[in-house]
């Protein structure tokens, strides 16, 4: 081995002058090739998936609900009414909600709390009936606190609910949304909603996803590209990133 | 042993190796097959690398070439006020040129005695992804291709193993009753791996706990992206694309792709191509006392934000009174992003009256209506 190697080196040394000439030829050839690639041969951009637009309304920061004020006013057939306009005359019995003659739009899904007078004050309908007295509609959280003590405690500390305006309690803009600005007091659980679109990064398609076929066909630009090219070589690109 | 194999060919050592002489003594002895292959492979590799390296020049537009001032711009921490003003003026001009919007850009410094912390209530999150898109709209991320800072992971109930999660979930309605939802974004670690690996110190942690990137100093090596255990960093493979007012006037559907003109140097100004970006707790809002965009849009109030140095802030209360945990605590990154659960009332689900509708609940009893 050492013998052959020495000889090989020897031959290189002897032919250096001619070797460097060919190297000079190779250099410009590849510069030409590089320029060819750069300016002549067209490159095709891998198509990007059009990102679905998100409606501005779905990103609203306004509270979910506008609660009743004090005194509460409801609109019936285009006319504003106060509670006592009717209830100073009418005193309905305490019936289960499905037997109501009025207020049929109220959907009452509040667990075992299914009687009007649990929360509404029977004597004055413009007040709410708490565990130890009455409260106004603008301080309805006192009513909620009658049963949901721990939630109320968390809300006063900022662990439940939503703080808006500022993170600084000393800032005048700092305010907490009240219970009824998010929850409907008659059916406080939130209904499921439609989610906004997921990530549309370049590589898409989750192996376990139920929508994998659609995802791969529609959203994976690499797959679109490879299918159009007829190579099919990117079939393994469905992996998660 | 190798020697034997060479010598076993039966040729003399001279014949075995002087390949170039095969064509006869008169042919070009300078180029052996080996030297030719070596030179051509090396040259081809070199040229390919060269072509790849200069190929971005093909996409270069006139406005992309930095002028001398921009080229000589210093690191964020080394700029004087005048130099910062000049840099902001350059950005203003460039944004106006590109998006036809005059931005309100400034450099906002951290507030004294403030350290920001985020808390997220996993009992509340429904996985609606509103935070993801509010963040994109606020922070001028590229829309095509899409860059998102927040990743909402749909997790099977009963595990915190991220490997079992899926962030591509696509359901007609959320939440799904068999899953819970875990949004992940930059955790603004107190011991961040990402800033340690940056070879040019283009990313660092500010005194208020926010890890920021100087987009004009970043060289795009993506070491930080590799170092981050939370997949919080994003790379601009292309020039970020947003819609100009003219395009929006033509097609109101793309209103959410509008450029947000309220920006700051370290946060949501439009990024150049080839740099990293990440969540910065909306510092152009939060350093002025406001809430981050992801928090304000949350429809269920799962997101909490505040100053952990203030003992009366929401997040201080949560850290004191709730069971909080951090993601991948074993890595020692010390995140400033905490997850927590609401404690459940164990009696609530067992109450038969809950399901069948009984009479009035005993006063003071906390029932299942809370959940």
Interface test with A, best of B29, B37, B146 (most A CBs within 10 A): B146
Q: Are residues A79 and A178 in the same domain?
A: yes
Q: Are residues A74 and A134 in the same domain?
A: yes
The answer for residues whose C-beta is within 8 angstroms of residue B67's C-beta and 6 or more apart is none
Q: Is A177 a member of any domain?
A: yes
Q: Are residues A140 and A228 in the same domain?
A: no
Which residues form the domain of A210? 201-235
What are the pLDDT digits (tens) for B199-212?
A: 999 999 999 999 99
Nearest CA to CA, how far is A133 from chain B (Å)? Answer: 12
Q: Is A105 a member of any domain?
A: yes
Counted residue by residue, chain B has a size of: 371
Q: Is A123 a member of any domain?
A: yes
- Average pLDDT of span A66-84: 89
Interface test with A, best of B291, B302, B311, B353 (most A CBs within 10 A): B291
- Average pLDDT of span A128-138: 92
Interface test with B, best of A112, A119, A146, A176 (most B CBs within 10 A): A112
Q: Strand, coil or helix: what is A138?
A: helix
Q: Are residues A103 and A206 in the same domain?
A: no
Q: Are residues A77 and A144 in the same domain?
A: yes
Q: How far apart are the first and last CA of chain B?
A: 77
Q: Strand, coil or helix: what is B223?
A: helix
What are the pLDDT digits (tens) for B72-125?
A: 999 999 999 999 999 999 999 989 988 888 999 999 999 999 999 999 999 999
Could A199 and B151 be called an inter-chain contact, meaning their C-beta atoms sit closer than 8 Å?
A: yes
Residues of A in contact with B174 (CB under 8 A): 192-195
CA atoms within 13 A on the CB side of A114: 19
Element (H, E) at B179: strand B179-184
Q: Are residues A162 and A135 in the same domain?
A: yes
Percent of chain A past pLDDT 90, that is, above it, reads: 34
Q: Is A15 a member of any domain?
A: no
Could B369 and A196 be called an inter-chain contact, meaning their C-beta atoms sit closer than 8 Å?
A: no
Mean pLDDT of chain B: 84
Total domains in chain A come to: 2
Residues of B in contact with A3 (CB under 8 A): 13
What are the pLDDT digits (tens) for B355-364?
A: 333 333 343 3
Q: What does the pLDDT read at residue A4?
A: 44
Q: Are residues A173 and A212 in the same domain?
A: no
Q: Please give the domain boundaries of chain B with CATH numbers for all domains.
A: 116-340 (3.30.70.20)
Q: Is A28 a member of any domain?
A: no
Cα A130 from Cα A120, distance rounded (Å): 9
Residues of B in contact with A169 (CB under 8 A): 310, 312-313
The answer for residues whose C-beta is within 8 angstroms of residue A156's C-beta and 6 or more apart is none
Q: What does the pLDDT read at residue A11?
A: 46
pLDDT at A126 over 60: yes
**In 10 A of CB B344, how many CB atoms?**
12
Mean pLDDT of chain A: 77
Q: What does the pLDDT read at residue B315?
A: 96
Residues of A in contact with B58 (CB under 8 A): 38-39
* A151 vs A52, residue with greater confidence: A151
Q: Is A49 a member of any domain?
A: no
Q: Are residues A150 and A213 in the same domain?
A: no
Q: Are residues A104 and A207 in the same domain?
A: no
Smallest Cβ–Cβ distance between B289 and the set A49, A59, A171 belongs to: A171
Q: Which of A20-24, A50-54, B22-26, B231-235 has the highest mean pLDDT?
A: B231-235
| H-state helical runs in chain A | 2-14, 16-35, 83-87, 141-147, 149-157, 179-182, 212-214, 221-229
Q: Are residues A205 and A170 in the same domain?
A: no
Q: What does the pLDDT read at residue A225?
A: 64
* A48 vs A169, residue with greater confidence: A169
Could B168 and A55 be called an inter-chain contact, meaning their C-beta atoms sit closer than 8 Å?
A: no
Q: Return the residue of A nearest to B289 by Cα.
A: A166
- Which residue bears the tokens 């708490």? A130
Q: Are residues A151 and A226 in the same domain?
A: no
- Average pLDDT of span A59-69: 92
Q: Are residues A219 and A120 in the same domain?
A: no
Q: Is A50 a member of any domain?
A: no
Q: Is A221 a member of any domain?
A: yes
Of the pLDDT bands very low, low, confident and very high (cuts 50, 70, 90), residue B367 is very low
């Amino acid at each position: 081995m050492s013998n052959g190697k020495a000889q090989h080196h020897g031959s290189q040394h002897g032919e250096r002058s001619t070797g460097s000439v060919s190297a000079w030829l190779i250099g410009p050839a590849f510069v030409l090739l590089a320029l060819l690639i750069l300016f002549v041969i067209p490159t095709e951009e891998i198509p990007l998936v059009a990102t679905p637009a998100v409606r501005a309304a779905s990103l609203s920061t306004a509270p979910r609900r506008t609660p009743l004020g004090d005194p509460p006013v409801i609109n019936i057939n285009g006319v504003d009414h106060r509670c006592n306009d009717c209830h100073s005359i009418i005193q309905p019995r305490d019936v289960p909600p499905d037997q109501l003659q009025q207020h049929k739009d109220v959907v009452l899904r509040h667990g075992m709390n299914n009687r009007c007078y649990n929360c509404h004050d029977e004597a004055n309908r413009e007040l709410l009936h708490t565990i130890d007295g009455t409260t106004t509609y603008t301080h309805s959280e006192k009513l909620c606190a009658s049963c949901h003590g721990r939630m109320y405690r968390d809300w006063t500390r900022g662990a439940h609910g939503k703080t808006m305006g500022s993170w600084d309690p000393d800032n005048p803009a700092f305010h907490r949304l009240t219970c009824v600005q998010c929850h409907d007091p008659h059916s406080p659980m939130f209904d499921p909603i439609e989610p906004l679109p997921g990530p549309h990064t370049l590589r898409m398609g989750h192996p376990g996803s139920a929508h994998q076929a659609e995802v791969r066909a529609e959203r994976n630009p690499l797959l679109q590209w490879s299918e159009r090219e007829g190579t099919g070589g990117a079939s393994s690109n469905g992996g998660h990133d | 042993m190798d020697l034997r194999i060479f010598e076993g060919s039966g040729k003399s050592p001279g014949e075995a190796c002087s390949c170039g002489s095969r064509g006869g003594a008169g042919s070009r002895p300078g180029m052996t097959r080996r030297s030719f292959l070596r030179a051509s492979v090396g040259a081809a590799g070199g040229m390919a690398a060269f072509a790849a390296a200069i190929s971005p020049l093909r996409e270069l537009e006139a406005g992309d070439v930095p002028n001398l001032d921009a080229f000589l711009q210093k690191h964020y921490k080394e700029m004087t006020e005048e130099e910062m003003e000049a840099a902001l003026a350059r950005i203003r001009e460039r944004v106006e040129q590109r998006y036809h919007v005059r931005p309100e850009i400034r450099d906002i410094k951290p507030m004294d005695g403030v350290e920001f912390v985020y808390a997220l209530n996993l009992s509340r999150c429904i996985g609606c992804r509103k935070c993801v898109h509010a963040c994109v709209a606020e922070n001028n991320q590229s829309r095509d291709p899409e860059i998102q800072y927040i990743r909402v992971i749909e997790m099977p109930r009963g595990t915190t193993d991220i490997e079992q999660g899926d962030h591509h979930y696509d359901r007609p309605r959320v939440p799904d009753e068999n899953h819970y939802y875990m949004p992940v974004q930059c955790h603004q670690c107190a011991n961040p791996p990402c800033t340690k690996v940056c070879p040019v110190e283009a990313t660092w942690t500010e005194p208020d706990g926010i890890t920021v990137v100087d987009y004009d100093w970043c060289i795009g090596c993506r070491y930080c992206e590799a170092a981050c255990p939370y997949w919080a960093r994003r790379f601009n493979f292309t020039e970020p694309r947003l819609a100009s007012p003219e395009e929006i006037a033509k097609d109101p559907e793309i209103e959410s792709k509008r450029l947000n003109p309220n920006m700051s140097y370290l946060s949501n100004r439009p990024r150049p191509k080839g740099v990293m970006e990440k969540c910065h707790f909306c510092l152009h809002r939060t350093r002025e006392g406001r809430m981050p965009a992801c928090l304000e849009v949350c429809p269920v109030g799962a997101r909490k934000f505040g100053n952990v140095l203030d003992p009366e802030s929401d997040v201080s209360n949560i850290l004191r009174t709730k069971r909080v945990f951090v993601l991948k605590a074993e890595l020692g990154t010390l995140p400033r992003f905490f997850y927590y659960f609401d404690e459940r009332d164990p009696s609530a689900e067992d109450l038969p009256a809950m399901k069948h509708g009984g009479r009035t609940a005993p006063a003071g009893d906390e029932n299942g209506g809370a959940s």
